[in-house]
Amino acid sequence: MNVNEAKKKAMNGLGLLDINSGVYHGKWMATEGKKSIESVCPINGQILGSVAQGDADDYEQVMAAAEKAFKLWSKVPPPGRGEIAGEIGAELSKNKELLGLLVTLEVGKTISEGAGEIQEAIDIASFAAGLSRQLYGLTIASERPEHRLMEQWHPLGTIGVITSFNFPAAVWAWNALIAAVVGDVTVWKPSSSALLTAVAVSRIANKVVERNGLPPIFLLACGSGRTVGNLLVNDKRVSLVSFTGSTATGRSVGEQTAARFGKSILELGGNNCAVITPNADIDLAVKGVAFGAIATAGQRCTSTRRALIHSSIYDNFITKLTDVYNKVNIGSPLDPSSIVGPLVNNDAVDNYKTTIARAQEQNGRILHGGNVYKARNCKSGCFVIPTIIEIDKQEGIVLEETFAPILYVMKYDNLQDAVRIHNSVPQGLSSAIFSTDIRETEYFISNAGSDCGIVNVNTSTAGAEIGGAFGGEKETGGGRESGSDAWKYYARRQTVTVNYGKDIPLSQGVVFPV
């Protein structure tokens, strides 16, 4: 299938137009007279379609609709909210092939990864449906007689969700569907590089909402960061802002949100590392590191960017790893044989080239790759060769996150040193150790080991499951999304004391003789 065939299939199947409305507040904004952003396919530079952008007035309509909808939606019992999440999952499942194809066209993921993106949203819908009957609070032993102490959770209100291009549907689902069963409504500002996916997903979700006679709980506000983004971050009506993106932008989002005493979930940079010990299953470790570094062309926040390899196995490991890299097919993600598709745009390619030049200035030695790639039947220059760079010292550019398939490899001599090097970066998202020695793996996952929010044993830094809470420490930002008890971020905790006696005994032995 070529780009034109795929475009026709996805756009027609999902009802997308040449110019699509990018604002939904119970009805879709008219596109006439509005500025629009073109969605450009990174496979060959072809324009897929356009999405009309909202301005400050459109944003205000979205927020007014959100406030009104919350008053109604929050009164629906949680299991009823869960049924809506389940229905959305079913609709996403019906459209999985088309949505996955659109993700491939718009951001360059392989066919398999595009489908996996939508499957993740479907899985979250199922998780949210079950969660709707498990929004538990605690009953706590009271120190006072004839008193009951408990805590309960209430919805926050309106949640702002700002997503990145690399997971254009799944991260929205992590936030919006979990928040929905808690009783919140969401306003979504998607990446300008993945607007068509956002429009398509929003249409499907709101189709379910509308047929059930419910108010608009999944609102969409496409627009520039300087207008819609800033309005969303600084709006006191937005109780929580969930932001996925760069550390620099995330720091600004966090500061602005905190200044108005709002809450935030920040999913920012990752400089993820895999430690390979002498006791590793080498073939397993090679596969895990290669997948982590190469999948999605290195454009995952959990992509493997550093590999620490014990000096006794270093040469053998590097030989096997470069052999895998030599066999990797680079090309159109529409071709099922392709493992590496394009970077998202030309700016990403420039960043790839700049990073490699900086690494070489720091005495980095290229073991594989290091150049752009002219993919067969692809006119775009967004393809690059997955690169391995050998370094002696972790400094400079190695401390930064580059959204590209660049892997830094280095030697270590003992596990304690490896952990020290592993932790000596500003970011703290995902980590991995490859070892068959339980002492080594337990050390790595202990408090003395990895300082990341996610730790993996004998598997890749990439590919987190939805059942666990997702997020990191340090400059990765903080907060958690997706599974486990991450739902509590979208709710406000309330501690309740009930006195069912005829007196008012005080806590801590305080006496009030009246």
Does residue 498 belong to any structural domain of this protein? no
Tell whether 351 and 424 lie within a shared domain.
yes
Asked if residue 483 is part of any domain, the answer here is yes
Neighbours of 252 (CB within 10 A): 14
Distance set, CA 238 to CA 71, 227, 325 (Å) = 14, 15, 46
- One domain for residues 262 and 361: no
Q: How many CB atoms lie within 10 A of CB 174?
A: 29
Give, in order, the Cα–Cα distances in Å from 91 to each of 5, 125, 182: 24, 10, 21
pLDDT tens sequence across 288-333: 999 999 999 999 999 999 999 999 999 999 999 999 999 999 999 9
| Residue 57 covered by a domain | yes
In a shared domain, residues 125 and 197: yes
Range of the domain at 258: 3-268+476-493
The answer to whether residue 407 sits within a structural domain is: yes
In this prediction, residue 214 carries a pLDDT of 98
| Confidence check: pLDDT of 375 > 90 | no
Can you tell me the distance from the alpha carbon of 172 to that of 222, in angstroms, rounded to the nearest whole number? 14
CATH number at residue 369: 3.40.309.10
Nearest to residue 480, comparing CAs of 232, 138, 175? 175
User: So what's the pLDDT on residue 374?
Assistant: 84
Instruction: Give the pLDDT confidence score for residue 199 in this predicted structure.
Output: 98
273 catalytic residue (yes or no): no
Both 217 and 232 in one domain: the answer is yes
Assigned domain for 175 exists: yes
Would you tell me how many other CB atoms lie within 10 Å of the CB of residue 498?
A: 10
d(CA 273, CA 253): 26
Q: Look-up: residue for tokens 């932001």?
A: 243
Give one DSSP letter per residue of 50-61, joined into a string.
Answer: EEEPP-HHHHHH
Q: Are residues 332 and 436 in the same domain?
A: yes
For residue 226, name the pLDDT band (cuts at 50, 70, 90): very high
With vertex at residue 283, the alpha carbon angle to CA 279 and CA 287, rounded to the nearest 5 degrees, is 120
To the nearest whole percent, how much of the chain has pLDDT over 70? 99
User: CA 62 to CA 212: how far, in whole Å?
Assistant: 20
What CATH number is given to the structural domain containing 192? 3.40.605.10
Around Cβ 373, how many Cβ atoms within 10 Å?
18
Catalytic one of 91, 117, 120, 267: 267
Q: Is residue 116 part of a domain?
A: yes
Instruction: Mention every residue, 6+ apart, whose C-beta is less than 8 A from residue 453.
Output: 428, 429, 430, 470, 471, 472, 473, 476, 480
Position 379 scores a pLDDT of: 64
Cβ neighbours of residue 110 under 8 Å, at least 6 residues apart?
104, 333, 338, 339, 341
Mean pLDDT score of the chain: 97
d(CA 16, CA 27): 16
CB atoms within 10 A of CB 46: 15
- Concerning whether 267 is annotated as a catalytic residue, the answer is yes
Residue 36 is assigned to a structural domain of this protein: yes
Give the tens place of pLDDT for each residue, 240-283: 999 999 999 999 999 999 999 999 999 999 999 999 999 999 99
Q: Are 41 and 155 in a shared domain?
A: yes
Check residue 118 and give its pLDDT: 98
Same domain (yes/no): 50, 127 = yes
Residue 463: its pLDDT value, please?
86
**Is the Cβ–Cβ distance between 410 and 418 less than 8 Å?**
no
For residue 380, is pLDDT > 80?
no
Asked if residue 219 and residue 260 are part of one domain, the reply reads yes
Alpha-carbon distance 244 to 249, whole Å?
Answer: 9
CB-side neighbour CA atoms (13 Å) of 151: 13
Torsion of CA 237, 178, 468, 429, to 10 degrees: -30
Over range 225-250, report the average pLDDT: 97
The identity of residue 184, as a single letter, is: D
Residue-wise pLDDT for 97-152, tens only, equals: 999 999 999 999 999 999 999 999 999 999 999 999 999 999 999 999 999 999 99
Kindly state whether residues 42 and 174 are assigned to the same domain: yes
Q: Are residues 173 and 45 in the same domain?
A: yes
Q: Are 450 and 398 in the same domain?
A: yes
Please classify residue 234 by burial: count the beta carbons closer than 10 Å to its beta carbon, then call 0-12 exposed, 13-18 middle and 19+ buried: middle
Over residues 64-96, the pLDDT tens digits come to 999 999 999 999 999 999 999 999 999 999 999
* pLDDT per position as a tens digit, 150-200: 999 999 999 999 999 999 999 999 999 999 999 999 999 999 999 999 999
Q: Please check whether residue 430 lies inside any domain of the structure.
A: yes
Q: Is 499 helix (H, G, I), strand (E, B) or coil?
A: strand
pLDDT value of residue 263: 98
Q: Residue 158: CB partners within 8 Å, gap ≥ 6?
A: 63, 66, 67, 70, 184, 185, 186, 187, 237, 238, 239
Q: What pTM value is reported for the model? A: 0.96
Given 301, 378, 382, 452, the catalytic residue: 301
The answer to whether 160 and 172 have CB atoms below 8 angstroms apart is no
223 and 134 fall within a common domain: yes
What is the tally of structural domains in the chain? 2
